[in-house]
Structure 1
Amino acid sequence: MVTFEDVALMNSATVKELKLAIKKKVNEMEQSKMGHRHISWKHVWKNYCLFYQNQKLLDENSALEDFGIRNNSQVQFVAYVMSKASGQAFKEEKTPFLSWS
């Protein structure tokens, strides 16, 4: 489990802002530990979504507070597969990812 104790966002932050903060923090961690390394965030967001208390955070414009996300909330990456018939994303596997505070 990877935790980010210092991912700081405003109470009115959106899912998109959380994703950008995660991207920035992971890139900083990778840079400090391994030097320059490229993560394909397009690939990450295509194959995973953020997940909080049985809710997929798919709408980037939604406010985090709409999902009940507050200080010290734990948000996870969930691998998901898009159903071709319905166009619906469904959960395949939970991967604990971060603790937001």
Structure 2
Amino acid sequence: MLKIKDQQTGEVATDRETGASLHTMMVMLMEDGRAEVLKVTVPETSLAAGLKPGAMVRAIELFATPWARIFNGQLSEGVAYRAARLELVTVEAAQ
């Protein structure tokens, strides 16, 4: 899904270095018997060919950036995730 920079104009967010369109991908992190859904931003040019829903991927150079803002007197906070690229993982490589 394309990442929108400005909701009012529909402007698409782009990578500052390459100008590539950014996509927000929903990725499920499985660890120690728990699952967590992360929204990871990835440049369009770095998405694996053949990527489809449910595919196993490996996030390369994954960075987590904490953020906080006050809007209408309410504090919102979270973590933004960004990966340099997503690679498809084969079943054999996952074992």
TM bucket (normalised to shorter chain) is under 0.3
State the structure with more CA Rg: 2
- TM-score using structure 1 length: 0.25
- TM-score using structure 2 length: 0.26
Task: Select the structure that is richer in strand.
Answer: 2
